[in-house]
Amino acid sequence: MSQAAPAIQCQGLTKRYGAVIALDGLDLEVPAGSVFGFLGPNGAGKTTTLRILASLGRADAGSAVVAGLAVGGGAANQAGLIGYLDQDPRFYGWMTPRDLLGLVGKLQGIGGAALRERIDATLATVGLADAAKRSIGGFSGGMRQRLGLAQAILNRPPVLLLDEPVSSLDPQGRHDMLETIRGLGGEATILFSTHILNDVERVCDRVAIIDHGKVVTASPMAELLARYATPTYVVEIAPADDATLGSLATALRAVPGVTAVEAVHGTLRVTVEEGDAAARHLLAALSAQDITVTAFERQRPSLEDVFLRVVDHAGHGAAA
């Protein structure tokens, strides 16, 4: 059985703004059906990449294919195939959400009862059903963000490009939007950028980290965490006074395989080279101390740990 073609594929994408290199030969492959997190420091090139993929900008060199069509032939060539949400969506303030989606639907060839039903369903999906007849000019940033998602998904495109889709939302709104994105993942391939790493862990199955306009690493989430996250154990003891913690930290630094010991809020974070073997040595060392161990557990690796390691290794740049 042949493997499905990637929904998005970039090869050598390059973009310059004067002397600034925004994209420096970027290669990226997004499998069909994935919810793909696109991460990087501010100015790494995320927005530039998404705008090029949406045919809202042009690369100076390289190529990209989205939903089976080459990027660069004009947005009309990909009408109906891509939904795009800008990081700061702006709309005519005098319109209502129903007016806006009606216009978007007609531009996409939807009309009549089908369009009315699609508008109702889409507004319900993004949580704006009760605001369908309100003027957009009175919307908060979070409401505009929801409306931006609504116009992106109205035509049920197979590929969604979302630039910071939860940046203006409060915690409840962010939770709701992420659940919506998770649900859409069963219907479309989603590539979205964000700086909120916990959100990526919640909804993405794959991740790419970009820095200096290049993809530094890209893989399934579980593989990325396993490959880059440093094994760390958290030790809690009693008594947990500074003197006892300091003495124990000194003893644990001498344990084979331990690379660092840090006191954090009355606990010790012990970083090791290899998790299972080091755990045995740590437990033996702890049992030899005149203390009571109240907790000993391996800390789950986080995407933040991976991100900081990868970006620190790559170094920071001034890409746009």
Structure token pair of residue 151? 């116009």
Supply the CATH classification number for the domain 230-300: 3.30.70.100
Other C-beta atoms closer than 10 Å to the C-beta of 204 total 26
For residue 274, pLDDT beyond 90 = no
pLDDT tens digits along 54-95: 989 999 999 999 998 888 765 545 667 899 999 888 899 999
Please give the Cα distance from 70 to 10 (Å, whole number).
10
One-letter identity of residue 283: L
Amino acid at 41: P
The DSSP H or E segment spanning 234 is: strand 232-238
In 3D space, the residue among 26, 19, 21 whose CA is nearest the CA of residue 62 turns out to be: 26
For 99-144, write each residue's pLDDT tens digit: 999 999 998 889 999 999 999 999 999 999 999 999 999 998 889 9
* Token pair of 178 as six digits: 């992420």
According to DSSP, the β-strands at 267-272 and 232-238 are antiparallel
Would you state the pLDDT for residue 73?
60
pLDDT digit string, tens, across residues 255-271: 988 888 988 888 898 98
Q: So where are the chain's domains?
A: 8-227, 230-300
8-227 adopts what CATH topology?
Rossmann fold (3.40.50)
